[in-house]
Structure 1
Amino acid sequence: MHRKKSKLLISFLAIVLLLSTFSMGAFANTNGSATELRTAELFGEINLASSRPTTVIVELEAESVVEAKQKGKKQTKAKLASERGKVVADLQKKVNNASVNREYDHVFSGFSVELPANKVTEILTIPGVKAVYPNVEYTVDALEVDAETFNPNMMESAPFIGSDLAWDAGYTGEGVTVAIIDTGTDYTHPDLAHAFGDYKGYDFVDNNEDPQETPPGDPRGGSTNHGTHVAGTVAANGLIKGVAPDATLLAYRVLGPGGSGSTENVVAGIERAVQDGADVMNLSLGNTLNNPDWATSIALDWAMAEGVVAVTSNGNSGPNNWTVGSPGTSREAISVGATRLPYNVFSSKIATTEGVAYPSAKVMGFPSEEELLELNNGEYEFVYVGLGAASDFEGKDLEGKIALISRGEFAFVDKATNAKNAGAVGAIIFNNVAGEHADVPGMAVPTIKTTLEDGQKLLAEIEAGNNTVSFDIEFAYEVGETVADFSSRGPVLETWMIKPDVSAPGVNITSTIPTHDPNNPYGYGAFQGTSMAAPHVAGAAALVLQANPYWGVDNVKAALMNTAEEMINPTTGKAYAHNTQGAGSIRLPDALDAKTLVTPGSHSFGKFVKDTGRQVEKQHFTIKNLSSERKRYSFDVEFAGNPAGIKVMTSNNLNVQAGKSQQVNFNVQVDTAKLEPGYYEGTITVSEGETKIEVPTILFVGEPDYPRVTSAFLEKDGDSYVVGSYLPGGAEVLEYDLYQFVNGGFGPEIGTIGSFANVPAPIHEFNWGGSVNGNELPNGQYVLAVYVEQGGVSEYRAYLVEKE
């Protein structure tokens, strides 16, 4: 482990820096004095030294239609077009090859424009420009389940959150429109066709009204299926049944071939969905930038203000804290983490001839616990059927017997299905390589798995004529609903907000996918990710809106958060942290039956950074009594461990009249002298009779423990290189060192290629000529080590880079 020297010699190099929330040092001399010019803010990663074309999003000072409306002002598209036109005209005078791509006015005021990167600063002094954002890449937040473990019968997640009980109560999403902002949707799929009318939505990749998925053979990139899978979880009604099977769908294709797209299309999709009358929108997409102030998040916040429930995935970069990415960082939208459904674990032993042991035998999957335990009742003949293809069973008697099958060539579930079709009551599948293979929920017959070594023992038993097997299967323990390791965690930088807001099933979720074959339109696949969790919440929001058509977005969000079920980490036996599960896993029946709402559904008091003495922060929440009678509420606030340095002061009791709302004020006093620096987690409990609503809350003492550097890069740019890093909180000291890459790690140090001081967040870049101490480095792989000091914390992280 290399330790960086504590004292750095800072040399200021004549290079171009990119600093987030960039403020130009533009001055004019007048009689020997300097007058600073007004400049817009520049966010994000843009190589200002490059002449290559780049696209940026320009936000205007003129308020969007929705923002003005929310502030009690009147704004028109015509006026915005005029303001936008002035800015574009000024820009094109400065940069004659600037080309405007998209224009926005409804939930975001501005436009996207392509121009040379080294001309971006020309935008910043144009009157009427508020900010400039990078056109960052967004990708789908999904992980495809291995084809071997895919099971078309795993659609248990909608009933798990209580969708079937909501359907029984008459809530199916009818009359509610959900926008799927994604890779497009196969609106011809038999399970989805009912949800689409003549107008399907819009394709922002090809700019037409046919938002179909990317088919195979597109020269621009791979085919897609993500949006169709998301749409099925929301509103499928066929072989698969989504959470809101009678909802209306609109599809907006903002991610193109290969499942990626950019800010300019995502913002356009949000705008169009709001204008097309969507009640709910789902964005199962994201990037890794933990920052709330990006164009997409701003658009989502104003979409919520306009009354559209915006649901977005929290990201798949877990399990560490601070991994949530935009647009999951949005202040207002509902960000969703992913969970795995509960399951029972069974132990298993198999026996043939006395003295032959099979220590690797484990339960792989089963159709029901009853059928699994039925294997304990007697001895069974077992028959080897090779790979378990349908043809492997031909001419063999498997009725009431066990199929012995080798792993390989096709899905485990198909092997089990073929065994069932041949009359087998169970199966043993052994591996075809060393090690253990995956568990598969919901197999067609009870199935035991073994290693290759134990499988060869079973084959030897058959050869010796010992072809009977018995089972000893016992319930071991139950694992409740758990948070998926891949699910991203909060908090959000700068706002210090808890994210996700809620969680929902996102592991091994089976839903619709396109086949791109009209003769065989019934396509299904199993994916996992926060992409799969978000549409469960979007569908749930549709049902809540159907039940309460006059509710605002805050009520819908609160109903889902206030009634969510807290999840327990089976490893620790304690509740997951707020920034892991949010308010908990959604439960539809409880959300539909809510009689009290507390908004907002979570709180962050931010950071308390005084070295000594007390610091007080004020907050408030609103209690809404939805019932027909007056209710009396009491409050309790408790931080984990009851630390002596934290004191919360609020009302003890409050009466709220039927159908009314009332604001509750409370203060938090933190005595930093009595507390260790760090993260403190608490719960605000609002009680009325037997009803208790728990509102998650957090605070930080001292500078939060966010990563000081989260990534670094070295990229070829003409005759030089762009070197940089992502610094969520900026850096008081920043240094880049190069090392040789030897045996998978640090080799000899080559030298320092850049040293800087007082660098703002979140992106830093500079140009490097490719040499160290006057010596040109040969092309190849190197270790780029980044040293950062910020807020009294230092970090030194290494990244593998390649010089070309």
Structure 2
Amino acid sequence: MRRSFSKGLFGLLSFVLIFSTFSFGAAANGGSTQVTELPLAEIHGDIELSSNRPTSVIVELTEESIVEAKHKGKKQTKASLKNERDKVKNALTKEVKNADVNREYDYVFSGFSVELPANEIVKILAIPGVKAVYPNVHYTADVVSAEEVSAEVFSPAMMNSAPFIGSNEAWEAGFTGEGVKVAVIDTGVDYTHPDLVHAFGDYKGYDFVDDDNDPQEGEGQYHGTHVSGTVAANGAIKGVAPDATLLGYRVLGPNGGSTEDVVAGIELAVQDGADVMNLSLGNSLNNPDWATSIALDWAMAEGVVAVTSNGNAGPNNWTVGSPGTSREAISVGATQLPYNVYTSDISTSEGVEYPTAKVMGFPSDEELLALNEGEYEFVYVGLGAAADFEGKDLEGKIALISRGGFAFVDKAENAKNAGAVGAIIFNNVEGEHADVPGLAVPTIKTELSDGKKLLDELEAGNNKISFDIAFDQRVEETMAGFSSRGPVTHTWMIKPDVSAPGVNIVSTFPGEGYAALQGTSMASPHVAGAAALLLEKNPNWSTEDVKAALMNTAAGVVDPATGEEYAHNSQGAGSIRIVDALNTETLVAPGSHSFGKFVKSSGKQVEKQSFEIKNLSNKAKTYSFDVEFAGNPDGIKVSTSNNLKVKAGKTQQVDLNVQVDTSKLEPGYYEGTITVSDGVNTFDVPSILFVGEPDYPRVTGAFMEKAEEGYYVGAYLPGGAEVLAYDLYQFNADGTIGDQIGTLGVFENATAPYHEFLWDGKVGGTELSNGDYVMAVYVEQAGVTEYKAYLVTKE
């Protein structure tokens, strides 16, 4: 599908055009005037520059941060940086009277955050000393679901994820994280929790939400306390590094947080002497979040191991979000621990069969099997929203729920809160819907056909149901379906780097409680704790050494549906194994490779890469190398050393040349593995390359937000858009798309990662009534077109 567009109806202010170089002949005096280009700083993100909307941005200075200058062999001081920063701030306040500077940075990032009208941002770009301007994007805690664990049913054995990755054996070997300082950059932490109080000293961190020295978690928040427990709890449960020291940095409030506070948290954690930092937070932008990425990269360079969650938007490729997209930080995907699979038969009245009934998810094997013990009444509650349960008696009964509207985990949670002992969720379209491990109540799923039968039974007065649930098989560790997948746009890197348990993780909850949570937020602190154990044993290791040890020794995770290992962009190098990482005698860094894009239409293209091998043993080792791409395609050839001898305690570089003949290959994604062997042990290094333009989604979301002067309409564009259009349609009561109302805007050359514009709420001069609409976004980019529809609300 291709559309032909005229230029934008609501064109953005284009400073590129305003300040571009041009000349013209001046008739007067027969002379000519040359107008030269005004040098401008770089701006990232397609911000609506013609609006007077108050907008917060991050300003990066050309003057290097203290850490960046240090690593470039230059001298930099806080005083000199302040002087340069003040020059820019003074120039800014002269140009923009109502600019409000908030955070200032000098250690791992050089610059400041400022709020000002969007139409004044262009003035920043021309101020000497400004390098770039970044959007101040929104972050949330990466959690899929949460369930507080009652004291009556809690037992230390429920905290089984740390032992699974080898924590117990590491403790027995004498490594508990003692002397290692881990910063938790999150929603704060309840440092009074009996399992966490040991990990905090007099100085506990900082609260960037309330701007005080008390990082205590805010009322109603629990995320940071749970993450902290996975790292270093030492009481009724034990975290991965139970003797580590913790520092808390509250950068997320009840509604999340933004880049300016996340960068401030990173910077202060480095200055406070953290050895490891955990960021279980993210957004949906598959694009390096520039200011945060810069801060994390320099934190890693300064010797602080930065660990981030990969996001919860899986299982499709390209769903990783920032800061999991960081070039240097360790990004973590989520696995589910081994579990048992059950078959399920359900029965109502005689002669009615439900062949599509399957177990969807459950909190424990015991609660699932308890459904076999009797006959239950079942009650239809629509979509299963909290309001759908009002006025209905669900105590000890089964909730019958339709798919749609919101997440399965919320439906199950609402059923539990209403007193139900189980749920049946039927699909609202043809086919089977996904399994969701760890639901709050035992839940059976059916296809739409069997859902209709259950509704018919209720209509006929047959409201009793029984279950026959039986053990089928055991499934070993698997990737969680919600775990976001890579690659990363622009850098084309494999993400996550590694994986760790992230489903039904029991850890500390504010007060004196415990809770089972799931999400990549829960996986990330397992890796942060593992990094603490590695640094206790190897205090002189670099951040790259820690990352390599975790990646090189990770265990491949097998997809039970195929019997093959998951793709690199699902699991990274695999699920971490602490003891193997502690005992490794070889480090291969970096631990994964992307050879990028091969886009020649014909002929051969060669790309070069290299990695380092570090021999940690006390004797020389000879290493061999084997590189294999899936299916052994004829068009890919890799050349490297056959053998390499590395002396004890030494490091050597290995060069790789990859030759791709695109004429012999179909466009697409090719996955490979570099296998390094010392004759006894092997180390697998994941690799990828792309033939032709990668198949990343051209649009990943859209929004419509009320503003003082209208509505901000926009879309998330991982690779930008050469042509972009927004069409508005009616939304029918039955959930279908109605007639087209009109086109809100057409644009050209929109930049990544998002685009927005101001809409006056009218189509064809007529004000639209408030309500739900369907906004279809059309994108052309790099020879690919995409048209996606999103439900939006005008209010």
TM-score by length of 2: 0.84
Deviation of residue 365 (structure 1)? 7.9
| Aligned mates of 1:334, 1:593 — CA distance in 2 | 20
Q: Does 1:70 align with 2:64?
A: no
Does 1:609 find its partner at 2:599? yes
Counterpart position of 1:687: 677
Q: Does the 8 Å contact 2:231/2:529 carry over to 1?
A: yes
Matched, 1:662 2:666: no
Measure the CA separation in 2 of the matches of 1:344 and 1:735.
48
CA distance 1:194–1:430, change in 2 (3 Å):
closer
Aligned counterpart, 2:390: none
The corresponding residue for 2:12 is 16
Amino acid in the other structure paired with 1:132? V
1:735: Cα distance to partner?
Answer: 2.1
- Work out whether residues 11 and 747 of structure 2, in 8 Å CA contact, stay in contact via their aligned partners in 1: no
Partner of 1:256: 253
CA distance in 2, matches of 1:677, 1:438: 32
Superposed, which structure 2 residues align to 1:402-551 within 5 Å?
Answer: 431=422, 476-515=472-511, 522-551=512-541
| Cα drift, residue 597 of structure 1 | 0.6
Query: Residue 147 of structure 2 contacts residue 515 of structure 2 at CA under 8 Å; is this kept in 1?
Result: no
- Is 2:784 aligned against 1:788? no
Change (3 A) 1:653 1:765: same
Measured in 2, the distance between the counterparts of 1:747 and 1:406 equals: 39
Instruction: Give the equivalent residue in structure 1 for 2:274.
Output: 278
Identify the residue that residue 170 of structure 1 maps to in structure 2. 174
Q: Which residue is equivalent to 1:25? A: 19
Q: Which moved more, 1:615-624 or 1:51-60?
A: 51-60
1:203-282 aligned within 5 A: 203-215=207-219, 223-258=220-255, 260-282=256-278
In structure 2, the residue corresponding to 1:271 is in which secondary structure? helix
Q: Give the deviation of 1:231 after TM superposition.
A: 0.2
What's the CA shift for 1:540? 0.2
The amino acid that maps onto 1:133 is Y
Q: Structure 1 residues 777, 635: closer, same or farther in 2, change over 3 A?
A: same
- Determine which of 322, 328, 331 is the counterpart of 2:327: 331
Check 1:128–1:382 CA distance in 2 against 1; reply closer, same or farther (3 A cut): closer
Report the counterpart of residue 344 of structure 1 in structure 2: 340
Deviation at 1:35, TM superposition (A): 0.6
Q: Is the 8 A contact 1:784 1:799 kept in 2?
A: yes
Q: Relative to structure 1, is the Cα distance of residues 776 and 641 closer, same or farther in structure 2, using a 3 angstrom cutoff? A: same
Distance 1:483 1:661 in 2: 34
Structure 1 pair 656–440 and aligned structure 2 pair: CA distance change class (3 A): closer
Q: Provide the C-alpha distance between the structure 1 equivalents of 2:123 and 2:516, rounded to a whole number of angstroms.
A: 48
Counterparts of 1:696 and 1:438, CA distance in 2: 28
Contact between 1:16 and 1:767, CA under 8 Å: does it hold in 2?
no
Aligned residue among 630, 636, 661 for 1:646: 636
CA gap 1:149/1:247 in 2 versus in 1, 3 angstroms: closer
Q: CA deviation at 1:120?
A: 1.0
Residue among 710, 714, 719 paired with 1:720: 710
Paired residue for 1:461? none
Tell me, yes or no, if the aligned pair for 1:349 and 1:362 is still in contact at 8 Å: no
Q: Which of residues 152, 158, 165 is equivalent to 2:154?
A: 152
Instruction: Find the aligned partners of 2:764 and 2:469 in 1 and give their Cα distance.
Output: 69
Aligned-partner residue type, residue 575 of structure 1: E
In 2, the alpha carbon distance for the partners of 1:681 and 1:361 equals 34
2:736 paired residue among 731, 745, 748: 745
Please list the CA deviations of residues 376-426 of structure 1 after superposition, one character each: whole Å capped at 9, or x if unmatched. Answer: xxxxx9899999xxxxxxxxxxxxxxxx97569xxx99xx9xxxxxxxxxx
Alpha-carbon distance in structure 1 between the residues aligned to 2:118 and 2:437: 50
Match of 1:556 among 546, 558, 564: 546
Distance in 2, Cα, partners of 1:653 & 1:479:
39
Deviations 1:80-117 (A, max 9, x none): 00000000000011011112111100000001112112
Tell me if structure 2 keeps the 8 A contact 1:149–1:440. Answer: no
CA distance in 1, matches of 2:270, 2:232: 19
CA distance in 2, matches of 1:724, 1:179: 35
Answer whether contact 1:599 1:621 (CA < 8 A) is retained: yes
* Residue in structure 1 matched with residue 392 of structure 2 by the alignment: none
Q: Is the 8 A contact 2:423 2:444 kept in 1?
A: no
Asked if 1:189 corresponds to 2:190, the answer is no
- What letter is aligned with 1:161? I
1:441 and 1:53, CA in 2 relative to 1: closer, same or farther beyond 3 A?
closer
Q: Given the alignment, which residue of 596, 600, 624 partners 2:590?
A: 600
Shift of 1:208: 1.4
1: CA distance, partners of 2:773 / 2:352? 53
1:722 is displaced (CA, Å) by 2.9
Letter in 2 for 1:622: E
Cα 1:199/1:45, change in 2 over 3 Å? farther
Q: Distance in 1 between matches of 2:135 and 2:192?
A: 35
Contact 2:424 2:445 in 1 (8 A): no
Decide whether the 8 Å contact of 1:23 with 1:41 is kept in 2. no
Structure 1, unaligned runs of 5 or more = 216-222, 376-380, 388-403, 417-428, 455-468, 516-521
Which 5+ residue runs of structure 2 have no aligned equivalent?
Answer: 25-31, 379-394, 400-411, 428-433, 455-465
Query: Secondary structure in 2 aligned to 1:575?
Result: coil
Q: Check the 8 A contact 2:46/2:751 in 1, yes or no.
A: no
What is the CA–CA distance in structure 2 between the aligned matches of 1:788 and 1:367, rounded to whole Å? 45
Partner of 1:772: 763
Question: 2:222 is matched by which residue type in structure 1?
Answer: N
Greater Cα offset, 551-560 or 779-788:
779-788
Aligned in 2, Cα 1:120/1:345: closer, same or farther, shift over 3 Å? same
Residue identity matched to 1:57: I
SS in 1 for 2:284: coil
Cα contact 1:141–1:315 (8 A) shared by 2: yes
> What secondary structure sits across from 1:737 in the alignment?
strand
Q: CA deviation at 1:146?
A: 4.7
What secondary structure does 1:55 align onto? strand
Query: Shift of residue 47 of structure 1?
Result: 2.7
Q: Name the amino acid aligned to 1:128.
A: G
**What does residue 292 of structure 1 align with?**
288
Counterpart secondary structure, 1:228: helix
Deviation for aligned residue 1:10? 1.8
Q: Are residue 754 (structure 1) and residue 745 (structure 2) matched?
A: yes
- In structure 2, what is the equivalent of residue 391 of structure 1? none
Matched pairs, number? 728
The code of the aligned residue for 2:93 comes to Q
The answer on 1:565 being equivalent to 2:567 is: no
8 Å contact kept, 2:289–2:323: no
The structure-2 alpha-carbon separation of the partners of 1:365 and 1:491, relative to structure 1 and needing over 3 Å to count, comes to closer
Residues 172-227 of structure 1 show CA distances to partners (whole Å, capped at 9, x for unaligned) of 00000000011111110000000000111111111111100112xxxxxxx21100
Per the TM alignment, residue 348 of structure 1 is displaced from its structure 2 partner at its CA by 8.2
